[in-house]
Chain A
């Protein structure tokens, strides 16, 4: 699950300045769940843009815009409407916007901002967040990730900023290291606090090139482009 939220309408209208017509594209995946790009929001956007004097040549909601192959197949019946528009307004996350822009030879405008979830990708977990750091530290921290639970992503223990168990950033946020301490204590693992960890290897935090080359990647690259 990737969380997105609508940009202010003025910002979107600013992107469309100088253009007469637009095709609106929504996403039935995360953006629909986010309430930022499902059928309802796409219909609302159509009304708003028409009220602002834009010609909406057509709309389509596809599941899922992050998949370029699905973007292409989903737009097959809409080629003429897309062709007739000056641009496409894409109402989904940053991945979906980039996927559409890569799959369709047309100017694509973003209608949403993507909200940082602190590391989660492709699923909707509970409060747990993974940083995808490539050097899992959970063994030392009672199964609570210090990189995502601690605001400063500290690996060596708590800073001095916590007050009543809450982070100095906000009284609504638990101090990650206090959660870790309480978990370690409950499991009889307080000795883990004596282990000196090395600083993170940030090299491992970057996605390796082969990670991007999935079977879907091959499909996308061999599929025909939508001729717009």
Chain B
């Protein structure tokens, strides 16, 4: 069953993500595809994540299609103008890619080519609008297409914000994204089911499926790092303590268990889960199993 039919029929969906590497060696990509297919409904393919130059998400998404794993083609607006974005969308459809996740993208200054020109000709909302226009058979300039796609477009939203303005802007932008054509959402990593529940209460009214973001912890240091440096990620102290208390040989098990517990707690509140394993892609099946999905 496709991600779209699963979410649209109200079934709980599982997605994860994997990223292309720097270079032309696709061994690990193919291994990840083998491990993940049949275990998740779809897998995000990241687009030059953290503004670090790598193999492209379009071709890696195609490798997933060819390998029997449904991809969610991530697209940021950092590196391409509206001509290239629309063209790559048409290419993606021709290659059998059906899901697109529209993102604004990180700043180049944060990646490994800080000298690069940031494009941001479109942003996440206007990219969604472009996808909707293509689905209708037109490009952004209003020209008619010969053959049109039928993309299932998604977007992201941040659950935790540390200012009122940021919280409200996230909700306002979620509304704008829905108006522009977002049909499902994946969230930034969540570690507190209660605050996720509060967020879901506010956005339930939109009736758009939300997949809760999960990043399994590898150690306490990773949790502290994210708290200090990653906007919208708040790992509570008791979880950090659990990781710190775990003996080295049990850390992996503890990290997986915490992720599985969070999934169990949040499952009744949302429509799916999105596991961002960050290097632990091959452990995703273990997390799913531990969560009883």
Give A contacts to B, CB under 8 Å: 151-165, 168-169, 175, 177-178, 181-182, 185, 190, 193-194, 196, 198-200, 202
Is A181 a contact of B165 with CB atoms below 8 Å? Answer: yes
Complex CA gap A225/B9 in Å reads: 78
Is B173 a contact of A200 with CB atoms below 8 Å? Answer: no
Complex CA gap A161/B82 in Å reads: 22
Complex CA gap A103/B45 in Å reads: 55
A147 to chain B, nearest CB (A): 10
Within 8 A of A (CB), among B172-188: 172-173, 175-176, 179-180, 188
Complex CA gap A162/B135 in Å reads: 32
- Among A175, A181, A196, A202, the residue within 8 A (CB) of B168 is A181
Is A178 a contact of B165 with CB atoms below 8 Å? Answer: yes
Is A200 a contact of B169 with CB atoms below 8 Å? Answer: no
**What residues of chain B lie closer than 8 Å to A169, measured between beta carbons?**
107, 109-110
* B123 at interface, CB cutoff 8 A: yes
* B231 at interface, CB cutoff 8 A: yes
**Identity of the chain A residue whose Cβ is nearest the Cβ of B172 in the assembled complex:** A193
Give B contacts to A, CB under 8 Å: 82, 104, 106-107, 109-110, 118, 120-126, 129, 140, 156-158, 161-163, 165-166, 168-170, 172-173, 175-176, 179-180, 188, 231-232
Complex CA gap A12/B259 in Å reads: 59
Is B121 a contact of A202 with CB atoms below 8 Å? Answer: yes
**With A152-B120, A162-B231: A182-B125 Cβ-Cβ less than 8 Å:** no
Complex CA gap A165/B176 in Å reads: 21
**What residues of chain B lie closer than 8 Å to A158, measured between beta carbons?**
166, 169-170, 173
A23 to chain B, nearest CB (A): 35
Complex CA gap A200/B106 in Å reads: 19
- Among B156, B161, B162, B172, the residue within 8 A (CB) of A157 is B172
Is A160 a contact of B165 with CB atoms below 8 Å? Answer: no
**What residues of chain A lie closer than 8 Å to B169, measured between beta carbons?**
157-158, 177-178, 181, 193
**With A160-B170, A165-B163: A196-B125 Cβ-Cβ less than 8 Å:** yes
A199 to chain B, nearest CB (A): 4
**What residues of chain A lie closer than 8 Å to B122, measured between beta carbons?**
199
**What residues of chain A lie closer than 8 Å to B118, measured between beta carbons?**
152
Is B168 a contact of A156 with CB atoms below 8 Å? Answer: no
Complex CA gap A181/B162 in Å reads: 14
**With A168-B110, A169-B107, A178-B163: A160-B172 Cβ-Cβ less than 8 Å:** no
Complex CA gap A16/B68 in Å reads: 64
**Identity of the chain A residue whose Cβ is nearest the Cβ of B109 in the assembled complex:** A169
**What residues of chain B lie closer than 8 Å to A160, measured between beta carbons?**
104, 156-158, 170, 188, 231-232
Complex CA gap A153/B121 in Å reads: 9
Complex CA gap A155/B118 in Å reads: 15
> Which 9 A-B pairs give the minimum distances between C-beta atoms?
A156-B125, A193-B172, A181-B165, A178-B165, A157-B173, A158-B169, A163-B231, A199-B126, A160-B158
**What residues of chain B lie closer than 8 Å to A182, measured between beta carbons?**
165
Is B126 a contact of A164 with CB atoms below 8 Å? Answer: no
B65 to chain A, nearest CB (A): 28
Is A156 a contact of B173 with CB atoms below 8 Å? Answer: yes
Complex CA gap A168/B176 in Å reads: 22
**What residues of chain B lie closer than 8 Å to A193, measured between beta carbons?**
168-169, 172, 176
**What residues of chain B lie closer than 8 Å to A175, measured between beta carbons?**
165-166
**With A162-B166, A196-B180: A168-B231 Cβ-Cβ less than 8 Å:** yes
Is B165 a contact of A154 with CB atoms below 8 Å? Answer: no
**What residues of chain A lie closer than 8 Å to B125, measured between beta carbons?**
156-157, 196
Is B162 a contact of A163 with CB atoms below 8 Å? Answer: yes
A62 to chain B, nearest CB (A): 35
Is A156 a contact of B231 with CB atoms below 8 Å? Answer: no
A29 to chain B, nearest CB (A): 30
B188 to chain A, nearest CB (A): 7
**Identity of the chain A residue whose Cβ is nearest the Cβ of B167 in the assembled complex:** A181
Complex CA gap A190/B172 in Å reads: 9
Is A155 a contact of B166 with CB atoms below 8 Å? Answer: no
- Among A154, A165, A199, the residue within 8 A (CB) of B140 is A199
Is A156 a contact of B165 with CB atoms below 8 Å? Answer: no
Complex CA gap A164/B156 in Å reads: 20
**What residues of chain B lie closer than 8 Å to A157, measured between beta carbons?**
125, 169, 172-173, 176
